[in-house]
Amino acid sequence: MNKKKIFGLALLALIGASFIAVPACVRNAFVKTNELNDKLEREWNFVLPDSARVIYDIHNRGWMGDGVELFAVENGIQDELPIEFSDVPDDGFEEEVDMRISMFNADDPVDEQYLPDWERDYCWKLLNDERDNTMYLWHYSDETLLYILINY
């Protein structure tokens, strides 16, 4: 085979792979968002707006269902949620979130770009359910991501 044919076949394979990979990523974000919405509706009595998309999630759940989950949701949906956020920084909230995030395994740590930065201006809300589960929500005033940390 000549170089042009090899290059053409490689390019064709790359284009074909992108037709498979891109829809799979979009579908994966859609599925993760639906799963999170199901969980929020079932356990916390609210859902995310239709425009919301989960862009990052990490779980550390034990065999008994205990553990933590962290989600980053995009699209600036904070104003559309039926939740009143506080814009007054809270050291206790920050310490609890940091402690819960430290529960993730060293083998599978939280991506640094999704770790809390308490030096930035943020708004927050702490929710508890009847089973002693806790949800920590926060967002920064200068970005469109909503962070959801659930402790079971």
At 119, the amino acid letter reads: E
Largest pairwise CA distance in the chain: 69
Select from 43, 28, 152, 149 the least CA-distant residue to 97. Answer: 149
- pTM, 2 dp: 0.78
The rounded distance, in Å, linking the Cα atoms of 100 and 70 is 10
Q: What percent of the chain has pLDDT over 70?
A: 78
The pLDDT, as a whole number, for residue 104 is: 87
Give tens-digit pLDDT for 44-75. Answer: 988 898 889 999 999 987 767 688 999 999 97
């030096």: which residue's tokens? 119
The pLDDT, as a whole number, for residue 26 is: 41
